Structure 1
């Protein structure tokens, strides 16, 4: 029996979706990150029950951190983006977390900068608060060790290609790190939206993109670029087509980044000469995307008609989909 709902909700499902291809499907993946980080802070004495932790979030991490704090008796304050909807606001309130949302911004960079600025103001007035720094503090890697052990136990042995959104860098980066440390041959393919500075696509804009959680307008220290072997940049329309195809093909109702990862995984498998297993990450469910994505399913393109431009340098980037073999030495 689970001691807390966070322990139950965090567990992923491994689902076969095609030849040598599987989906690692979460209800909310960042619960692993938040639980692992909070446990570490408590074990090392950096925080104690009753203390307040604070962080910035555009949505999923806010719920994860609120659940982790509820689990371990901490107070939680979230400085949220305007994308935090009523459903999440009510959950945070009933979990005992406090939320303040920054004013609406015309772009992601300004939104992220406003949230960080507000956190610094709060910390100046409340120096006892602990800033979780999900984008920069390596403690957010720790929780994914358990996921890597789950993958190692339940997937066939042999070479593995892992595909997923880059985001803060903690999820895909940590999983690849722990799997490689256990002796697995792992190729890591990261998925990015256009406009993200993380792998240097900020000059190519995509006004419709609403999966900011897998990209960034400011540098994230938790992204270890040298861990990645491949990078896929996928625009909104292509990711929408992937999400719709994922539901139609497999019954998996997941978010927009999951659709992008599904397409990238299919492409990687079709061009794989080593007969590797391909595992893509679906980090959350599709409920947040009902109106913005699934209600527009008639706009979805046939996945068979979609493929990336293979590029050799960042100045070749263009919509709707590009892929590159990422040199470990290269930094944007």
Structure 2
């Protein structure tokens, strides 16, 4: 029996997806990040019950942090994007978290900058608040050790390719790190939206981007670029099509990042079907019903979608591009012995 609903909600389902892939399907993946970070802060005395934790979020992390604070008797304040919908706002209110949303913006950079600026103002007025820094603090890697253990136990021995959104780096990067530390041979394939600075696509905009959680308009310090072997940039239309096809093929109702990861997984497996392919579905599709799933009649078939294989950032283009990482260098030539700061 679970002590708190957060512990139950964080547990993923591992589902076989033909042909030869495994989907790790979460209700909300960032609960691992939030719970692991909050536990560490409490255990090390950096925060105490009754303290206030504050951070910026486009939605998923807000819910995760609010639940973690509820679990451990802490206050939670979120500076949210306009993508935080009514369903989540009401849940945050009932959970006791406070939410303020920045002014609407079509520009991802402006939205994220406004949120970061507001965090700075809050900390000046309330120096006792603890900023969680989900985009920058290595502490958010810690909770994903359990996800790596689940995958390691469930997936047959041998090489595997992990595919998923890069986001803050404290998901795909963390899971691959812990799998590698356990002796597993892992190829890491990251998914990005166009317009993200994280892997250098800021010069290729996507006016329909609503998958900001897997990319960024500002540098994220906890992304370790050397962990990644391949990067796929997928635009909104293709991510939506992938999510619709995933639902049709498997019944899995997941977010747009899962749709993009599904496309990348199928493409990579067609090139090399030797390893086991594992892709992440970080959240459910509920918040994308109106913006994406309602347009399922416009979804493209899998056979009509393929990426542009590129070798330089200058060649990146819509709707889907893929590149070896680092550019022009064999991924296996890198040193993969990586330690997670703060995890000792």
Pick the TM interval, shorter chain. over 0.9
What CA deviation, in whole Å up to 9, does each residue of 1:283-304 have, x standing for no partner? 0001011111111111011111
* Counterpart in the other structure of 2:250: 250
Report what 1:286 is aligned to. Answer: 285
Distance in 2 between the 1:189 and 1:132 partners?
A: 27
Q: Residues 311 and 327 of structure 2 are in contact (CA less than 8 Å); yes or no, is this contact kept in structure 1?
A: no
Which residue of the partner structure matches residue 337 of structure 2?
none
Kindly report which structure 2 residues correspond to 1:1-332, keeping only aligned pairs within 5 A, or say none. 1-272=1-272, 275-327=274-326
CA contact 1:168–1:223 (8 Å) conserved in 2: yes
CA-atom RMSD, angstroms? 1.1
Structure 1 residue 51 displacement after superposition: 0.4
1:81, CA displacement in angstroms? Answer: 0.8
Is the Cα–Cα contact under 8 Å of residues 78 and 100 in structure 1 kept in the other structure?
A: yes
Tell me the secondary structure at the aligned position of residue 171 of structure 2. helix
Alignment coverage as a number of residue pairs: 329
Q: TM-score, normalised by structure 1?
A: 0.98
SS of the counterpart of 2:296?
A: helix
Aligned counterparts of 1:235 and 1:329: Cα–Cα separation in 2: 23
Deviating 4+ runs (over 2 angstroms): none
Mapped partners of 2:254, 2:74: distance in 1:
30
Output the TM-score relative to the length of structure 2.
Answer: 0.94
Tell me the secondary structure at the aligned position of residue 164 of structure 2: strand
Can you list the C-alpha shifts for 1:135-162, whole angstroms capped at 9, x where unaligned? 0000000000000001111111100000
Separation in 2, partners of 1:57, 1:8: 22
Task: After TM superposition, give the deviation of residue 328 of structure 1 in Å.
Answer: 7.9
Q: Is the 8 A contact 1:206 1:236 kept in 2?
A: yes
- Give the superposition deviation at 1:20: 2.2
Work out whether residues 225 and 328 of structure 1, in 8 Å CA contact, stay in contact via their aligned partners in 2: no
Cα displacement string for residues 255-311 of structure 1 (whole angstroms, at most 9, x for unaligned residues):
1110000000000101016x1000000000010111111111110111111111110
Distance in 2 between the 1:312 and 1:67 partners? 42
Q: 1:114 to 1:288 in 2, by over 3 A?
A: same
**Residue 129 of structure 1, CA deviation:** 0.5
The whole-number CA distance in structure 2 between the counterparts of 1:322 and 1:159 is 25
Deviation at 1:10, TM superposition (A): 0.2
**Does the CA-based 8 Å contact 1:20-1:276 persist in structure 2?**
no
SS in 2 for 1:170: coil
Rounded Cα–Cα distance in structure 2 between residues aligned with 1:17 and 1:195: 30
d(CA) in 2 for partners of 1:189, 1:313:
17
Are the aligned partners of 1:228 and 1:328 in contact in 2 as well (CA < 8 Å)? no
CA contact (8 A) 1:191 1:260 kept: yes
* Alpha carbons of structure 1 residues 154 and 203: separation in structure 2 relative to 1, 3 Å: same
Paired residues of 2:194 and 2:201 also in contact (CA < 8 A): yes
Give the drift of 1:104: 1.3
C-alpha contact (below 8 Å) 1:152/1:179 kept by paired residues: yes
Deviations 1:101-128 (A, max 9, x none): 1111230111111111111111011101
Shift of 1:216: 0.3
CA distance in 1, matches of 2:103, 2:185: 45
- What are the ranges of 5 or more consecutive residues in structure 2 without an aligned counterpart? 330-344
